[in-house]
Structure 1
Amino acid sequence: MAAAGHALVDHHCHSVLGRDLDAGAFAALLTESDRPAAPGTSFLDSQLGFAVRRHCAPVLGLEPHCPPGEYLARRRDLGAPEAVRRLLRAAGLETLLVDTGLEAIPGAGPLLPLPDLAAAAGAAVREVVRLESVAERVAAGRVSARSYPDDCVRALAEAVRDRDAVAVKSVLAYRHGLDVDPRPPSAAETARAAGEWLARLDRHGGPPRLTHPVLLRHLLWAAVELRLPLQLHTGFGDPDLTLHRADPSLLTGFVRAAEPYGVPLVLLHAYPYHRQAAHLAAVYPHVYADVGLALAHTGARAGAVLAEVLETVPFGKVLFSTDAYGLPELYLVGAALFRGALASLLDGWTADGSWCAADADRVAAMVSAGNARRLYGLRAP
C-alpha cells in the first residue's frame, strides 16, 4: 500500500470534548447541521455515522459495525478520558494544527485545552488563530470606531506572537460569503464601517458577531501583512452558510490581488466545489487545496472525492486534514478514510502502469505530511 507507514500532519482541526455524551449529543456531532435530525431519523444513519462504527468500534474493543447502542455503552463504560485517549492515539497523527476559534460546544461544554489535547493524542499541537474571534474580542472591549481598525491589527499580531501560531484562518464564507470586493479597504472606508458596526452593537447588545463585509476585508488584508499562511473556509458547512457563496472560485479576485505578497492561501474543505479549489491551486503558486472534512462526510465515497481533487492539482499543493471537532472519533475516521482512499488510488494507478511505485510513495509522503511541514515551517520528528 503506497500510503502505508507515512506520518500524518492534520493541518486543520479543533479540540474535542473530554466528557461523556448521551446518544443525542453524540449524534449531533456527526453532522454539519446545528438543527435536530428529521423526526424518526438519526445522524448516526449517515456515511459518517457508519464510518465511525466501522473504524472506531475495534479501538474500543468492539466488532466493526456493532449497533450504535452497544458502541455508546462501551464508550461510557470506558469513560471519556480513556475513550478519548484510545481514539486519538489510534489516528496516528504526528502534529495537529488547531483552530482555537471554537472553545466550547453549546449545551455540551468546553473543549479540551490544547495541552490536554496534545497529551491525549500523543502528538505535537500548534495553534491557528481565527481572525474574526480576535476582531470580536477587540469590539467587546468598547473601543472607538476611529481606533478599531488599528486595534484589530495590533491585537491580531499580538495573538499570533503570544500563541506562537503557525497560521491564521478566516470564516468569511460564514459571516458574509466569499463574494466580497477583493481590494483592501481604505482607512476612511474601514473607520466608517467600524462606526456602523459598533453603533449596531450599542443598540442591540449581545456578544459581538462580525458580519460587516468591509471589516471582514480589512481582516483579510491585515492577515496578508502577517506573512503567515491564511486558511479560508470554503465549501459546505452548517446552515449559517449559504453554499453557493462559499464556492472558492469567488475568491479569484482576492487570490490575484494577494499574489504579489506571496502569502500562502489555503482553501479548506471546498466540497462540493473541490475541483474549483484544485484549479486555483493548479494555476496560482500561492494557493493550496485541502482534502479535509469532505472525506469523513462522504465515507465510503471518500476515494471518489480524493480522486477528483488529484485530477489537476499539483501534488505538492494538496494537504490532509480532518477538521475534527468535538468527537475524538472524527480524528480517527478522517485519518482512516484518508489513508484508505489514498492507498486505493495510488495502488490502482501503480498496478495499471500509470505511475511507478517510487512516485506513488513519494506523493503519499507529500500529501500526508511533507506539504504541511513545508508550508507551515514544521520540523519532522
Structure 2
Amino acid sequence: MGPGPVHEALAAVRLVDHHCHSVTTGDLDRAGFESLITEGAVWPGVSPFDSPVGVAVRRHCAPLLGLPRHAPAEEYLARRAELGAREVNRRFLAASGTGVFCVDTGFAPDRGTAPRELAEAAGGTAYEVVRLEAVAESVAAGGVEPDEYAETFRAAALEAVRRPGVVAVKSVAAYRTGFDLDPARPSGADVTEAARRWLADGGRLADPVLARQLLWTAVDLGLPLQLHTGFGDADIRLHRVDPTHLTDWLHLIAGTVPVLLLHCWPYLRQAAYLSAVFEQVHLDVGLTLHYVGPGRAGAVLAEATEITPFRKLLYSSDAYGVAEFYHLGALAFRQGLAGLLQERVDADELSLPDALRIAAWTGGDNARRLYGLPPTDTDPPLPSPDRD
C-alpha cells in the first residue's frame, strides 16, 4: 500500500525542531565523521557505519550526495569530502524541511555553525536555548566567592535569557548528577557550602546541591525548561536518568514552567506517564529517531504515544555535529508518525481529520504554542551569526 493522506500532510509540514545543536563546518576524515555518529567511542574493529545509524546514513543520506543507496562507507566519505562541508550541510539541512530551529548553544563541535547559519541553510529561522550548566561554569571561571555564587549565577542566567532570540533554558543534570535528587529548593547555606567545595575543586558542575539550585533557578526564570533524559553518552548512569525520579519535584513546581523531556528512550513509557498526569510536562523522542533509523521510528513513536496527550508530543532531531542527523531525524519522524497515524485511520481507530491535526500539532504547532513562537516562520533570525 502506498503513502496515504497523512504521509502527504507530514511530508509538507515545515517542522519546528525544538531541540538541536550546531554542525561542524570543517571537512571530516573517517575518524572524525565516525566519532560524530556514535554516542560511544570508536573502538578498534567496530565501525559506527556497522550500526543501525551507520546503515541509515548509507541508505537515506547517500542519495542526497548523488550516490546510490547503501553506498559503501569509503565511497560515502569520499563524496562528502569532494562536495565539502558547506555544500553537504546545505543539502541535508534543506532536505530536512525544517522551518524553525531552537538551538542549544551550550555544546558545539569545533568550528560549529551558529544558529543563523543553520537557519539560512534551510531557509528557516533560528532561536536560542540557553544551557544553564554552561552559564554556571562561566560564572565559576570568572571568579566568584562561595557566598556570592547563587546570586551571581542567577544574575548571569537572567542576563543570558534576555538576549534576543532566547526561547528556553536547558539543564543536563542527567549527565552530571542524575535525577534522584532531593526535590526541595536548597537553602542558601547549603548552596554556599556546595559552591565552596566546587569552586575549590574546579571542573564541571556536578554537585547535587548545585544541580538542585540550578533547576530551581530555571523555574524562577520563567521560560520553558528542557531536560535531557534517557539515552546519551557514557557520562550517564542510565538508571539515574529515569524521568520518574523527578516526580516529587514536578509536584513542587506545579503551575510554573513547561518541562520538556528530551529523548526519553528507553524511558518512553515513564515520560509518557508524566505527560499524562502533570499539566506542565511534554516530551519528544529526538536523538532516538536517527539512531534507530526510519525503519524503527514507528515503533518508538508508537510506544511514546500510547498514553501521551497529543498536545504534549513535540518534534526534535537533537542533531549534533553532522548535518545528516537533521535529515535522518526529520525523515524518521515524518515516516514513523505518518505510518502510525495512517494505520490507525485505516483501522477506523482515528478519523482522518484527527490524524491531520495530530500531525500538525506534533510537527510544529505544539512547540510554537509552548515557546511563544509566531504562527509562521517569517520572524527575524537571531541577530548575531557568531553566537554559538
The answer on whether the counterparts of 2:23 and 2:108 sit within 8 Å (CA) in structure 1 is: no
* Paired position in structure 2 for 1:273: 267
One-letter amino acid matched to 2:108: E
Match of 1:101 among 99, 106, 124: 106
- Once residues 255 and 302 of structure 2 are traced to their aligned partners in structure 1, the CA distance between those partners, rounded to angstroms, is 31
What is the aligned partner in structure 1 of residue 276 from structure 2?
282
Residues 10 and 93 of structure 1 are in contact (CA less than 8 Å); yes or no, is this contact kept in structure 2?
A: yes
Q: Deviation per CA, 1:188-212, whole angstroms, max 9, x where unpaired?
A: 11111111211223xxxxxx31001
Deviations 1:146-177 (A, max 9, x none): 11110000000001112431000000010011
Specify the code of the residue in structure 2 equivalent to 1:94. G
Aligned partner of residue 260 in structure 1, secondary structure: coil
Which of 341, 353, 375 is equivalent to 1:346? 341
Q: Which residue of 1 aligns with 2:138?
A: 137
Tell me if the contact between 2:90 and 2:122 (Cα under 8 Å) persists in the aligned partners. yes
Displacement of 1:31 after TM fit?
Answer: 1.0
Contact conserved, 2:108 with 2:321, CA < 8 A, in 1?
no
Moved more, 306-315 or 47-56: 47-56
> Which of 68, 85, 88 is equivalent to 2:90?
85
Query: Is the Cα contact below 8 Å between 1:295 and 1:302 reproduced in 2?
Result: yes
Structure 1 residue runs without a partner (length 5+): 202-207
CA distance in 1, matches of 2:85, 2:20: 20
Task: Give the stretch that moved more between structures: 184-193 or 150-159.
Answer: 184-193
> Shift in Å at residue 236 of structure 1?
1.2
Match of 1:254 in 2: 249
CA distance in 1, matches of 2:25, 2:142: 31
The runs of at least 4 consecutive aligned structure 1 residues that moved more than 4 Å come to: none
Pairwise mapping of residues 205-216 of structure 1 onto structure 2 (< 5 A)? Answer: 208-216=203-211
TM-score (norm 2): 0.93
Number of the residue aligned with 2:174: 173
- Other structure's SS at 1:56 match: helix
**Residue equivalent to 1:244:** 239
Cα distance between partner residues in 2 of 1:337 and 1:159: 33
Report the equivalent of 1:191. Answer: 192
In the alignment, which residue of structure 2 is the partner of 1:110?
Answer: 111
Give the AA of the match of 1:45: D
Query: Which amino acid is 1:23 matched to?
Result: R
| Cα separation, 2, equivalents of 1:51 and 1:350 | 28
Please state how far the C-alpha of 1:59 moved relative to its aligned partner. Answer: 1.2
Q: Verify the 8 A CA contact 2:26 2:111 in the aligned structure 1.
A: no
- TM-score normalised to the size of structure 1? 0.95
Counting matched residue pairs gives: 368
Return the alpha-carbon distance in structure 1 between the equivalents of residues 255 and 305 of structure 2.
26
1:311 equivalent to 2:318? Answer: no
Whether the aligned pair in 2 keeps the contact of 1:190 and 1:215 (CA below 8 Å) is yes
SS in 2 for 1:166: strand
